[in-house]
Amino acid sequence: GAVVSQHPSWVICKSGTSVKIECRSLDFQATTMFWYRQFPKQSLMLMATSNEGSKATYEQGVEKDKFLINHASLTLSTLTVTSAHPEDSSFYICSARVGGTKDTQYFGPGTRLTVL
Amino acid sequence: EDQVTQSPEALRLQEGESSSLNCSYTVSGLRGLFWYRQDPGKGPEFLFTLYSAGEEKEKERLKATLTKKESFLHITAPKPEDSATYLCAVLANSGGYQKVTFGTGTKLQVIP
């Protein structure tokens, strides 16, 4: 089956610093990658949709200057949380979409971010 | 606005006691409905994609069905290892692009 990896899986940083999270599709090329965040005991909230070679589409209420998304290739997307603050602490999950007639998305294992 | 509602919020079953989870949706331009299972602290694990009303898919003790308004995830003779949160999500056309909307999940606990 399709495998999506995320790195790092767990990160702690100081307030004001920036953190980059990588999302890779390991055995397929993804037409689109999505970034989600999930707070404890809540469902996934879509942050942005990332298409290779173009600007990401952000959901309402998500600051594009704070959450920088770069989709450099069909197998790699990165999310950079800039000037992180404690309220940015969350579980960040990416997914990679396999398009075409059998549209499906596969999720990475997630990245736990804690901002002190 | 697209809406996805899952019920019940939580479900406790005895091992071997079959049941169903519900996912109701209100979207325009449905392209697909996904079912995932999520264990605590991990990313969702893909289970099924359903594309059109009347479609059914099976995997081990799980069977997913789809109508024009809702989807059911049937669990037959569950085992404790089936305990997890089950999420459904819909992929739909929204404002010129495609958007995924998740339900809040059903937390399933299977007791030995």
Q: State the best of A107, A111, A112 to mutate against chain B, taking most chain B CBs within 10 Å.
A: A107
Render pLDDT for A58-67 as a digit per residue (tens, 0 to 9). Answer: 988 899 999 9
Torsion angle of alpha carbons B66, B6, B59, B77, nearest 10°?
A: -120
Chain A interface with B: residues with Cβ < 8 Å:
1-2, 4, 6, 34, 36, 42-46, 49, 57, 91, 93, 95, 102-110, 112
Instruction: Give the Cα separation of A75 and A57 in Å (integer).
Output: 18
Q: What is the 3-state secondary structure (H, E, C) of chain A?
A: CCCEEEECCEEEECCCCCEEEEEEECCCCCCEEEEEEECCCCCCEEEEEEECCCCCEECCCCCCCCEEEEEEECCEEEEEECCCCHHHCEEEEEEEEECCCCCEEEECCCEEEEEC
Render pLDDT for B12-66 as a digit per residue (tens, 0 to 9). Answer: 999 999 999 999 999 888 888 999 999 988 888 889 889 899 999 999 999 999 9
pLDDT recorded at residue A102 = 59
